[in-house]
Every structure is written in C-alpha cells, then in structure tokens.
Amino acid sequence: MTFIEGGVCAAAGFRAAGIHVGVKTNNVNKKDVALIVSDVPCSAAAVYTKNAVKAAPLLVSREHLKDGQAQSVLVNSGNANACAPEGEENARRSCRAAAKALGIDERDVIVASTGVIGQRLPVEKIEQGVEKLTPLLSTDGSHDAALAIMTTDTVKKEYALKTVIGGKTVHIGGIAKGSGMIHPNMGTMLCFLTTDCVISPEAAQSALLQAVQVSFNRISVDGDTSTNDMACLLANGLAGNMPITGPGDDYDAFLNALTQLCTKLAIDMAADGEGAKHLIICTVSGAKTEQDAETLAKSVISSTLTKAAIFGADANWGRVLCAMGYSGVEFDPDTVDVAFASAAGRIDVCRRGRGLDFDEDLAKKILTERDVTIDIHLEGGEASCTCWGCDITYDYIKINGDYRT
C-alpha cells in the first residue's frame, strides 16, 4: 500500500472540479461548489449523521442511493440547506442541474451541502454555476474540489493510495472537510471517496461502515454532531479485479486500504479543529474490550477541561481521570497509569491512580508541541484504542460567536 497524489481523481475514470458560483457571498476568491464524476456508473455506499435533524441533501441522497448506484457528487459550501425553506426541492434542483449538464439520470447524483443552517439555498446560483463547472472537470481537479467544500477549514483534506487486490492495482482517493461541529456518529464533516475497485454495493456499504467506525467516529473537536455529516463511496470497477461481493482476502485488503485512507482524513479533521493549536492523540490500553477503550478515549478527547489544559500546556492529569470517570465504562481507578508524550519526550504523571512527582518544566515543554499524546494504561484486559481530538482555544469562541453574522 502506497500513498499517492491525485485525491478523488487518483482512481481511473474519475474527474473533478471546483469553482466559486456565489453561494459564499463574503469572498469571491473562495470556491464554493465542487463536482465529482465517474466516466461510468458506480457501486455506491454512504453513511449519514445520527442527528435526528438531518439536512435536505442527506434525505435526497439517501433516496437516490436506494439502488446502490451513483455516478456523480455535487457539493456546495457556504449554506447547509438544513432546516431551510424549500430545502428538499432545492436539493433536487441541484441534482437535476448536475444530471442535465453531465447527461446522466438525476437519481445517480449524490448531493451534499455544508455551511450555515436555516437559510434558503441560493439554488439558482448553483444551477448557473454547474454549467460553468462541467467543462472544467479534469483528472487534475481534486485539489479544486477539496478547496470548494471547505468552510472554516484552514487546510484541505485530500489523500489517495494504491494497493494490490487480486493481482490488480487498485486506487482509492478521498477529499473531506471538517473543522467545527465535529463529533461524528455514523462533525460538520463531509467525506467523498472514489475507487476503481470492482466491488458490489453491499460489500462497499459494509466496508464503508467498518472504516468509518474506526476513523471518523473516533475523532471529536467540540462534541457537536452536525445535521449534515455524510461520507460516501463511489466504486466504478475500472481496475478490473475479480468482483468483491463479500468477506474474503480481497475484501479484507480493500477494507484495510479504505480504513487507512479514512484515518488519515479523520486525523486531519481533528488537527484542523476550529482555532486549534494542538492535535490530541489519546490511546487507552489494558481495557476489557475495544469498545471500552474507545469510549474512555473519546471521553478524554471530548472533555472541555482536558482540552483547555492542553491549550495551556498544563499537565493536569486529574482532568483525564475525571473524564474517564464519567464515561460510563466500569474500570478500577486504582489501576490507571497516565503519561504525556510528544516530539519533546515523555513523562509519567500518574501511576495506579495516584499523582507522581514530575518535572513541571519538562511536562510544559512536552505539552507545547503541536501533537500531544495522552497515554493511558489500565489493568483490566488486553484491548486498546486510539482516538483523536484537539485543544480548545480563544479562537474557537471567536469563530463560532458570530459564525452566522
């Protein structure tokens, strides 16, 4: 398995583009609509937010994907089209515009939106923009598409890799956005994945669910699960491998590659949390089950007090134990060891649930690094899990205090 360039265009038969059409009114230099298309129909799969309030594009996309097939993705940023007037009709109008421009069935278009909730989508601008966007589709278009789906993101999230499945070289690529309102349950996170692997819709859906569970569902920025979260996968089969229809070696190889790709994108989301200065990596080992380890780690990375301590480079390990204690997982606090680590070194701060004398200057130096690891060990079993989060800063309040206005 090798990471390569190309994003969603790395797989054979995929093209993409992104431009500014006017959904974002505050900056004409920011792209706000992206289009991804396959030369041929694809097996398609998707996972959606568990928030009971779901944006109109998710409802339309879910309906379109009932047959397990799609050929294109149309995405806008700057407006979530959630709880908005004429939401579903405008989502359908967006699909119809893309379908007409591409010469495909509108039911083969996946539609997604991200941005401010509750405002009418300026669908007319999208309809006009698609006509300008379609001629720009190219195998080099992933970068522009990745930029066009960003809202408060400060960096684009774009990766691709290649691997060998059944003797054939298979490519998987992806772009994603997410910086705030990130606490996936499937943050405002969107992820679009493409592959030339031959895989059935059922196997693609199964693999996507498994990959999401151990990647996007193991990050948190601020504890808010968005109305618009979605991850989708298009597989056009142009790699020519033997069809993957269920469990087996080829399925495992595809799942492993997909998981690696999703994990890279997920970590970038956590690191790019709104206003964040630090990526927090929390590893829990010695738990009874992997689910216990995951719940404990997610509780720590989601703790506002823990996040504030990391921002201040304060080795306040008590906040870590506190977050573990209200996680709902049964464990013995008297068996907990905690250490902080980074590129500057490692320091043990708690052993068997009790504080240690440690060098505060060294601890501060360790916690000043961008990537900070909270290493937790229990004596309850053999299971472990790593989750990713970020610190909370003054800038998070600045960004979200006037997000709409």
Domains annotated for the chain, with CATH where assigned, are 2-271 (3.60.70.12), 279-401 (3.10.20.340)
CA dist 147 and 82 (Å) reads 21
Length of the chain: 405
Name the 3-class secondary structure at 105: coil
Task: State whether residue 49 is helix, strand or coil.
Answer: coil
pLDDT score at 295: 96
Write the DSSP symbol of residue 6.
Answer: -
Q: Is 188 considered catalytic here?
A: yes
User: Hey, what amino acid is at 73?
Assistant: V
Q: What is the pLDDT of residue 187?
A: 44
Spatial distance between the Cα atoms of 36 and 191, rounded to a whole number of angstroms: 12
What confidence score (pLDDT) does residue 228 get? 80
| SS3 state at 45 | strand
Helices within 32-182 (DSSP H only): 56-64, 87-102, 123-133, 142-148
Query: For residue 273, what pLDDT is reported?
Result: 81
Chunked mean pLDDT (size 10), the chain, 405 residues: 98 98 90 98 94 93 98 97 96 98 98 94 98 97 97 92 98 90 63 98 98 93 75 98 98 98 95 89 98 97 95 97 97 98 98 98 98 97 97 83 69
pLDDT of 223: 67
Residue 49: predicted pLDDT? 87
Is the Cβ–Cβ distance between 76 and 23 less than 8 Å?
A: yes
Q: Is 400 helix (H, G, I), strand (E, B) or coil?
A: helix
CB 398, CB 304: distance < 8 Å: no
Radius of gyration of the chain (CA): 22
d(CA 348, CA 345): 11
At residue 27, the pLDDT reads 80
In this prediction, residue 397 carries a pLDDT of 80
- Exactly one of 188, 195, 225, 373 is catalytic; name it: 188
Q: What is the pLDDT of residue 60?
A: 98
